[in-house]
A = this chain, B = another copy of it.
Amino acid sequence: MAQGKIRNMEEFAAISGISRPTLSKFFNDPDSVRHTTRERIEKALEQHDYRPNVFAVNQNRRKTKNIGIVVPNLADPFFSEIGRLVELACIETGYSPILLSSHGNPSMERDNLDSLRSLKPAGVLLAPFGRASDRADIQKFDRDVPVVLFDANIEGVGKAFVGTDNFQSIDLMVEYLCRSGEPPCFFEMKSPTNPNANKRRHAYLESMQRHGQDANIFQAEGEAWNFEEIGRAEGGRMLSENVFQTNTVLCSNDRLAIGMLSAAYGLGIRVGHGKGCSLRIAGHDDHPFARFTCPPLTTIAQDYAAIANRAVSTLFRILESDDRPSEREETLFDGRLVMRDSA
């Protein structure tokens, strides 16, 4: 880094002795110029610290290198974690990720896509709300900008989907719970917006049937995003009314389980698989706090990293072969059973 700041590519061309169009090619893709000139440019770059004006670049380039990432709620550690991984994967590939949260508000999902539009992104990675999402809006958006869905699937929407195989993961958990004690009841939200919740219910029903057990589903009222609170209030009510037929409850997700564990503690119910315990509670997702609940929560770990990386690589594959849309592909990763103390 030397003295007088370089104002534009013209000046940098003059100083470095490279023509401006060549520099333009270089900044677009360093490998598109000859090795020797690349080295010359990089050497000049070390001395003068010039960077192209992003606004001018994006105005003129047909395709920007922006990637939009939209998640329903960054306040949910699951999404902040997977959002982080997606973000990093984009950076590694030389793209500029823009991470947007819809703050639990489906209408903000629309707004986010809308404001992304003006950034002319090359592609978008979207973890949609699901049922509450504006399906038509996403499809319309996808016609202009390729969209890859992750975490939550909406049939037929977007170029691809990457997520966890809820049938595999729930079956794994049901299998474990049946082997190690009484078969599980199922606790979930009454009208979940998230499609995974529906998949998990079906997976539970299927799996219980396969194990020759009676399925018992208990649904909590409430439409809001504060699952822990709902889990505590409704789960607590059910516990004190003694509605569960068995001593084992499989919660549709960890956040409900965290709430229910809190309720159980308040009611003086000892939760766990050891002796002296009268209730087993299991969750799904391996929420970052699942290992700190009392007792630590037995759950299913989703492969965050695999989902994030595959979503990103799928999008880039679509971007590069921008001819045929080919088939809409769905990739499902297996969940992993995490045995802790709660079940």
Binding site for B on A (CB under 8 A): 51, 53-56, 58-59, 74-75, 77, 80-81, 83-84, 88, 98-99, 101, 103, 118-120, 228, 232, 258-259, 261-262, 265-266, 288-289, 291-296
B55 touches A289 (CB 8 A): no
Residues of B within 8 Å of A120, CB to CB, are 55
Beyond the given pairs A74-B84, A228-B289, 18 more chain A to chain B contacts, judged by CB atoms under 8 angstroms and listed by A's residue number, are A53-B59, A53-B118, A55-B59, A55-B120, A84-B101, A84-B103, A98-B98, A99-B101, A228-B292, A258-B289, A259-B292, A261-B292, A261-B294, A262-B291, A262-B292, A262-B294, A265-B295, A294-B294
Residue of B nearest to A64 (CB): B55
Main secondary structure of the interface of A (DSSP, over half): helix
Residues of B within 8 Å of A119, CB to CB, are 54
Q: In the complex, A98→B292 CA distance in Å?
A: 32
A56 touches B59 (CB 8 A): yes
Residues of B within 8 Å of A74, CB to CB, are 74, 80, 83-84
A258 touches B292 (CB 8 A): yes
From B51, B58, B75, B291, give the contact of A77 (CB < 8 A): B75
* Interchain nearest-CB distance for A15 vs B (Å): 20
Residue of B nearest to A111 (CB): B91
Residue of B nearest to A255 (CB): B292
By Cβ-Cβ distance, the 5 closest A-B pairs, closest first, are A294-B294, A55-B59, A265-B294, A262-B292, A55-B58
Q: In the complex, A296→B262 CA distance in Å?
A: 8
Q: In the complex, A295→B77 CA distance in Å?
A: 22
Q: In the complex, A59→B120 CA distance in Å?
A: 15
The residue in A55, A291, A294 that gathers the most chain B C-beta atoms within 10 A of its C-beta is: A55
Residues of B within 8 Å of A266, CB to CB, are 295
Q: In the complex, A228→B290 CA distance in Å?
A: 11
* Interchain nearest-CB distance for A108 vs B (Å): 10
Task: Give 7 A-B contacts (CB < 8 Å), ordered by A residue.
Answer: A53-B59, A53-B118, A228-B292, A258-B292, A262-B293, A265-B294, A266-B295
Residues of B within 8 Å of A259, CB to CB, are 292
Residues of B within 8 Å of A228, CB to CB, are 289, 291-292
* Interchain nearest-CB distance for A34 vs B (Å): 27
From B51, B293, B296, give the contact of A118 (CB < 8 A): B51
* Interchain nearest-CB distance for A335 vs B (Å): 21
* Interchain nearest-CB distance for A339 vs B (Å): 16
